[in-house]
Amino acid sequence: MAAAAVAAPHLWLPTTREAWGATLKKGEPIKVGLLFSLTGQLAVPEEDSTLVMQYAIDEINKNGGIAGHQIQPVIIDAKSDFNVYSEKAKELILREKVIAIFGCYTSASRKAILPVVMSQNSLLYYPTCYEGAECTQNTICTGPLANQHSKDLIPYMVKNFGKKVFFVGSNYVWPKESNKNAKIWLQNAGGELVGEEYIPLGSSEFGPVLGKIRDTKPNFIFSTVVGASDIAFHKQFKQEGFKVDAMPIASLTTGEIETKAMGAEFGAGHFLSAPYFQSLDNPTNHKFVESFLKSKYGKNGSTHYNMEETYLSAYVFKAGLEAALNKTGNIEEVTSRMIRDVSGGVKVDDSISPEGLIWIDSDNFNTWLKPKIGQCQADGSFKIVAEAKEQVAPDPYSIYPNLGKCTATGLVAPDGKARKNVI
């Protein structure tokens, strides 16, 4: 009687780990989430991110997968809506039980999903440049931080064009933080800031800013204008009669897609700092460009820094998972957090990485990379005019030393207090 009462409702209690969050199973594909926008304002860069991730996953699978397991992407359209990002991140982790999410392009979307990623102790690969000032135990970033991005660009421009510079940026967190870094480089290089302006995101009216630039007569312009505005900026720069050889724009964003969209004649002569250019002359990159553009994912016709950083994140994941497997020997025991913890120091060497050898910092889990400076040519391709001699260390708190130092276990303040999950 009593036994029947207990048996009847068939109480089910999760006794295995698989009831909670992600698990990997022997012989089953490894599920990862691709959380990018395929529609809306952010679709231009993020569609390329999704395509290149699918390409990278196909490539890894074709070469035997990871320890014999195929990777299976779960592709989500985040619709350029930050609510959708956080909702879908939750769904990817809890329902799809993905081991890692590759996603986001803007800092706003990253900050929208990080609380979910952190509370589930999952793993986010953030595959583009950002401002830093974050120290979580659940993120790996494969793009340049603000402290790496403009370090060589500013002295290069001051040396070749003159001391006076005008900063133009889109009005949100990344340009403002980037410019704080750039001001330090400018000071070290003996340059002079003659003006600083921020344009509302998405605005296409640069008349007033160009008027001020005309009045202050800088030797070059340092730009962190993003997206459609960036294209309008370059077009109006030329239409208003500014000459690129007298006052070039040194940008952190104007790459191959932007140049194609504005028309090469508007991009020619300007400078870009990035770890990757389509025109990089090395066998790995030649192979990457050729086979990517030939594949079914290469429909947009070019490769660019954001794409390549995303491509690398797939291989950083592969290296991290392999390192975790080495440690446990059993794929069913690998968790998201374990992959992240063993990813410190993992390398993607120049036989895979089109931009050359990179590795993950074992304190802050950003990427050691070589920023390069390219000048846009008349055909829209970039000519590399300078390259860092060695990989530059990522430092998410370079301009906020008072806040502390990011370590693998948290942000350690100067007084020795450690805080976890700082975003």
Closer residue to other proteins, CB minimum distance, 190 or 211 = 211
Tokens of 270: 């300007």
The stretch among 20-28, 84-92, 204-212, 390-398 that binds other proteins (CB under 8 A) is 204-212
Rule CB under 8 A: choose which of 212, 337, 347, 405 binds other proteins.
Answer: 212
The stretch among 194-202, 326-334, 336-344, 364-372 that binds other proteins (CB under 8 A) is 194-202
Contact between 422 and other proteins by CB under 8 A: the answer reads no
Q: Please name which of 258, 271, 255, 257 lies closest in space to residue 229, comparing C-alpha atoms.
A: 258
Contact between 377 and other proteins by CB under 8 A: the answer reads no
Contact between 238 and other proteins by CB under 8 A: the answer reads yes
Tokens of 304: 């660019």
Rule CB under 8 A: choose which of 22, 209, 226, 321 binds other proteins.
Answer: 209
Mask of contacts with other proteins, 244-283, x by CB under 8 A? -------------x--xxxx-x------------------
Contact between 198 and other proteins by CB under 8 A: the answer reads yes
Query: Which residues share a beta bridge with 125?
Result: 102, 140
Shortest distance, position 311 Cβ to other proteins, whole Å: 18
Closer residue to other proteins, CB minimum distance, 106 or 353 = 106
DSSP per-residue string spanning 358-409: EEE-TTT--EEB--EEEEE-TTS-EEEEEE-SSPBPP-TTTT-GGG-EEETT
Closer residue to other proteins, CB minimum distance, 265 or 350 = 265
Rule CB under 8 A: choose which of 190, 200, 345, 414 binds other proteins.
Answer: 200
Contact between 231 and other proteins by CB under 8 A: the answer reads yes
Contact between 70 and other proteins by CB under 8 A: the answer reads no
Contact between 216 and other proteins by CB under 8 A: the answer reads no
Rule CB under 8 A: choose which of 239, 326, 328, 330 binds other proteins.
Answer: 239
Rule CB under 8 A: choose which of 207, 329, 351, 379 binds other proteins.
Answer: 207
Shortest distance, position 300 Cβ to other proteins, whole Å: 5
Shortest distance, position 190 Cβ to other proteins, whole Å: 26
Tokens of 287: 């192979």
Contact between 211 and other proteins by CB under 8 A: the answer reads yes
| Neighbouring residues of 330: CB distance < 8 A, sequence distance ≥ 6 | none
Query: Which residues share a beta bridge with 140?
Result: 125
Distance, CA of 146 to CA of 171 (rounded, Å): 16
| Neighbouring residues of 362: CB distance < 8 A, sequence distance ≥ 6 | 344, 345, 408
Contact 139, 114 (CB under 8 A): yes
Distance, CA of 423 to CA of 415 (rounded, Å): 20
Q: Which long-range contacts (CB under 8 A, 24 or more apart) does 261-266 make?
A: 261/231, 262/231, 262/234, 262/235, 263/235, 264/376, 264/377, 264/378, 264/379, 264/380, 265/238, 265/378, 266/234, 266/235, 266/237, 266/238
Rule CB under 8 A: choose which of 21, 29, 44, 65 binds other proteins.
Answer: 44
Rule CB under 8 A: choose which of 140, 232, 348, 369 binds other proteins.
Answer: 232
Closer residue to other proteins, CB minimum distance, 32 or 226 = 226
Q: 285-304: which residues touch other proteins (CB under 8 A)?
A: 299-300
Distance, CA of 339 to CA of 321 (rounded, Å): 6
Please report, to the nearest 10 degrees, the dihedral formed by the alpha carbons of residues 329, 55, 147, 175 taken in order. Answer: -140
Contact 80, 88 (CB under 8 A): no
| Neighbouring residues of 59: CB distance < 8 A, sequence distance ≥ 6 | none
Which residues are at the interface with other proteins (CB under 8 A)? 38-41, 43-44, 47, 171, 197-200, 202-205, 207-209, 211-212, 214-215, 228, 231-232, 235-236, 238-242, 257, 260-263, 265, 299-300
